[in-house]
Amino acid sequence: MTVQRCSDAPGGVALLRLARPEARNALDLAMREALAEHLEAVEADRAVRATVITGDAKAFAAGADLKMIAGASPMDVRRLNLHRLWRRVADHPKPLVAAVNGYAYGAGCELALMCDLIVAGPGSRFALPEIKVGIMPGAGGSQRLVRAVGKHRAMRLLLTGEAIDGPTAERWGLVSQLSGTDEAVLDTALQLAATIAERPPLAASMIKETILEGADLPLDAALALERKSNQLLFDTADQKECMAAFLEKRTPRIRGA
């Protein structure tokens, strides 16, 4: 099995593990298909409110499996439909947390960038080294990276193919949270996801959608989107319950409605 859904996760959280250790979790077609299928199942599962994607101690994912594409023609690459599988990740409506140990290179870095939050260890390594094999990122790496760290830092990584470590990635704004040790990465990510899972899920989904859609809009349009999203949430049962609980100084009973 190339992607496993693990049972050892807190309530409300799904844990998906990339499991191809013999190839440092390099993403072949089977892995991408399996990840897309798991995310579809998670989306349909109302009990799940946040998902953690992780690899193992040595690698989150060390890139694409070059054996799959090294001799391919442009039409061969197109027929793989990899962009459709990636859309299942990028368009997933629930919060996604990447828990990164070791290598997050190439497609592995792109997968982490598609997640909403990245928790990494001090020994993690991030790179988009496609230039070293004569190509460039093709799953949003160049576009998401520049939005995360700015033009000049993105250019440095993309044009050299060099890697940065976890502490540098955190300073640059690529990583949301750096754990104290590499061993603590998954627990830190699961705790973060569990905190998110305790919040009203409709609000979480609306926040994610508004941030992603508003990021590329003019400010006035983005503010209008935010305002309408805020107003729509006043039609949810969780809004009524949470505000009443706050005023009554009690714990809210969140139903996801």
Tens-place pLDDT, residues 26-73: 999 999 999 999 999 999 999 999 999 999 999 999 988 788 787 788
What does the alpha-carbon distance between residue 198 and residue 196 come to, in Å, rounded to a whole number?
5
Is 201-248 assigned to CATH 1.10.3470? no
Alpha carbon distances (Å) from 243 to 49, 194, 230: 20, 21, 14
Average pLDDT score, the chain: 94
Tens-place pLDDT, residues 192-213: 999 999 999 999 999 999 999 9
Residues forming beta bridges with residue 88, ordered by sequence position: none
Is the pLDDT reported for residue 247 higher than 80? yes
pLDDT confidence of residue 1: 62
Is the pLDDT reported for residue 189 higher than 70? yes
Superfamily name and number for 3-197: 2-enoyl-CoA Hydratase; Chain A, domain 1 (3.90.226.10)
Least confident residue range of 73-82, 150-159, 247-256 = 73-82
Domains of the chain, by residue range, sit at 3-197, 201-248
Which residues contact residue 141 at a Cβ distance below 8 angstroms, ignoring those fewer than 6 apart? 106, 109, 110, 113, 128, 130, 158
